Amino acid sequence: MFRTIRDLWPRGDAPAAAFCGEDERLSVMASFGLDELEGDADLQRLVGFAARLCETPMAMVSIVEDARQRFLAREGLDIPETPRSTSFCATTMLHSEPLVVPDATEDERFAAFAVVTGAENVRFYAGAPLISSEGAPLGALCVIDTEPRQQGLTDLQREGLEVLADAVMRRLAQHRLDIAASDVIAEREKRLESIIDSVPGIAWSADHKANFDYFNARWKDVTGSEPPQIPADWRDFVHPDDFEKTHAGLSHAVEQSIPFENEFRMRQADGSYRWMLSRAVPLTGIGPTPRWFGTLFDIDEQYRLSESRELLAAELSHRIKNIFAVVSGLVAIKARNHPDAKDFAEDLSNTIKALGLAHDYVRPVEGRRGESLRDLLADLLAPYQDSAGERITVEGADSAIGHRAATPLALIFHELATNSAKYGALSCEEGRIGIVLRETEQDELSIRWEEFSEACEEAVDESHEGFGSRMLRLSIEGQLGGRFERRFSKEGLVCEIVVPRKSLTS
């Protein structure tokens, strides 16, 4: 079987006997798709050059079929075909070498042909056989004159005719390879389309402006309608409350050539709406502009299940907040009967309030609070801040905080602020605190807590690690996997806390 355009039948070899039978020969001929090569520009240039090289008024690429010979390209001849019964090329194609007929009236094989005895007045003929890579005879590249030429062709003309015949076969072979490649691609596309049609979701493709040119069969199954052609056409399928956001998001993604993801309600064939997850990505490198490929998957059950869980979580969150308030209230009530435990009760109540604040970051009850470390610090330290916002300053890199990190972080900074209010900078009117956040090369966040003021109360023993210090160490090292260092300077307390980024965002 042919593989490349270089797989030409060896010049000088007769056609293969196995492909000289008409059925076999015509079967090979059909694989070339010759109908598409009639008037081919490359072939036309070759026959024009053949006529000039051999100094003849006519030249043609002749393909010999079962009942006719037709001319894919021709020079100096008006008719596109002649009967096979009067074809010189039908004889030429069976030879291993070019056939030269100096005077057709003197050659018994051709003297009675109508093109010789009739108005065409064919006298001189020279043709080089066209043989496929399998060895099937197809026709010939020939030149014709109305005057006999006893000297035939010069050596240069003969060689040139053979070279041009090889060029003709390369053009035919290239076209056959193109057809075969197209068939392979079409078969692969058909298989791929079958695979895509079998997936449970909707798949689509579009050009760089999001003009949709393909939807798999699932679209019609789900919507019962013809697919959209441009983004605005989605208005008929996307829930009115979701359309503007979805349309704006896709338009932005197309403009920026960035991936798109969104959830929206899509109209079904029965008129109902179901939640869908839409994803689309631009694919570059396959043309001058990117193409878009996207999917739509039904997530209605998961969405509604998640929604019900959110409702449950919100209810639980509300109850937990109530429990914090109840416990704090009970502590305050009991403390009234125990004046000697007033300070302890106040500390405990403030700690419970800090836990309640941390809970807002874990599961907000109403709305959604900030999710950054700076937001948490601002909320926790707000009671100690002055009106100008200068008593406590926070500088440096911010960091997102996850649900697991919120509670230990709240306890850490509540403990530091409480101790500062009792014994440190916040116990003095002129005292202040500077917090510096810094990223390290080890993908950690360094938090430096520094107090500026001599204590207004007698400081606790630095060598003794009390309950507060143990809680700090437990929260930082045990829960967050970080490091904790505390020291006292002339100006006040300095705490260095280093926590891995992954612990903060978990």
**Residue-by-residue pLDDT tens, the chain, 506 positions:** 444 445 789 988 999 999 999 999 999 999 999 999 999 999 999 999 999 999 999 999 999 999 999 999 999 999 999 999 999 999 999 999 999 999 999 999 999 999 999 988 999 999 999 999 999 999 999 999 999 999 999 999 999 999 999 999 999 999 999 998 888 888 887 787 777 777 788 999 999 888 999 999 899 999 999 999 998 999 999 999 999 999 999 999 999 989 999 999 999 999 999 999 999 999 877 667 889 999 999 999 988 887 776 666 566 656 666 666 667 667 777 777 777 777 777 767 766 666 666 556 545 445 445 568 888 888 778 777 777 778 889 898 888 887 778 778 877 887 888 788 878 888 888 888 989 999 988 899 999 988 887 555 554 444 455 666 777 788 888 888 888 888 877 777 888 999 998 888 87
On whether the CB atoms of residues 202 and 218 are closer than 8 A, the answer is: yes
Distance CA 205, CA 196 (A): 12
At 164 the three-state DSSP class reads helix
- What does DSSP assign to residue 332? H
Q: Where are the domains of the chain?
A: 17-182, 200-298, 300-366, 370-506
CB atoms within 10 A of CB 367: 6
Cβ pair 242, 265 in contact under 8 A? yes
Going through 102-237 in order, the beta strands assigned E by DSSP cover: 124-131, 137-145, 202-206, 212-215
Rounded CA-CA distance 273/253 in Å is 25
User: What are the tens digits of pLDDT across the range 25-56?
Assistant: 999 999 999 999 999 999 999 999 999 999 99
Are the C-beta atoms of 165 and 128 separated by less than 8 Å?
A: yes
Which one, of 420, 413, 417, 412, lies nearest residue 455 by Cα?
420
User: Which two structure tokens, joined as six digits, stand for 4?
Assistant: 């490349």
CA distance 215 to 269: 16
- Please report where in the chains the tokens 């009236």 appear, as a residue: 105
Q: CA triplet 362, 364, 368: central angle to 5 degrees?
A: 110
Burial class (CB in 10 A: 0-12, 13-18, 19+), 426: buried
Strands in 432-439's sheet, in edge-to-edge order, are: 392-396, 432-439, 444-452, 493-500, 483-488
What is the C-alpha separation between 127 and 98, in angstroms, rounded? 5
Q: Give the pLDDT of residue 242.
A: 94
Distances (CA, A) of 42 to 9, 61, 73, 394: 20, 11, 9, 77
Quick check: 61 and 90 in contact, CB under 8 A?
Answer: no
**Beta strand extents in 240-348 (DSSP E only):** 260-267, 273-283, 291-298
The pLDDT tens digits for 300-355 are 998 888 777 666 656 665 666 666 666 766 777 777 777 777 777 776 776 666 66
CA dihedral 451, 457, 460, 466 (to 10 degrees): -80
Under a CB-based contact definition with an 8 Å cutoff, are residues 25 and 17 in contact? no
- Interhelix angle 403-423/342-362, nearest 10 degrees: 150
Q: In the beta sheet, which residues pair with residue 283?
A: 291
Strands 392-396 and 432-439: parallel
CATH of domain 370-506: 3.30.565.10
CB count in 10 Å sphere of residue 336: 9
The helix or strand, by DSSP H or E, that contains position 211, with its residue range, turns out to be none
CATH code that applies to domain 17-182? 3.30.450.40
pLDDT of residue 412: 83
Query: Residue 461: CA atoms inside 13 Å, Cβ hemisphere, count?
Result: 5
Nearest alpha carbon to residue 44 among 72, 78, 81? 72
C-alpha separations of 93 from 26, 65, 236, 386, 389 in Å: 13, 12, 64, 104, 99
Asked if residue 9 lies in contact with residue 131, where contact means CB atoms within 8 angstroms, the answer is: yes
Residue type for 431, please?
G
Q: Report the half-sphere exposure of 108 (CA within 13 A, side-chain side).
A: 0
- Euclidean distance between CA atoms 221 and 380, whole angstroms: 54
Residue 320, pLDDT score? 61
What 3-state DSSP class applies to 406?
helix
Fold match flag (17-182 vs 370-506): no
Length of the chain: 506
Query: How far does CA 113 lie from the centroid of its chain?
Result: 65
- Model pTM? 0.49
For residue 134, CA distances in Å to 2, 13, 186, 269, 470 come to: 7, 12, 25, 55, 89
The CATH class given to the 200-298 domain equals alpha beta
Dihedrals phi, psi of 313, to nearest 5 degrees:
-65, -40
- Residue 462: its pLDDT value, please? 47
The whole-angstrom separation of Cα 220 and Cα 217 is 6
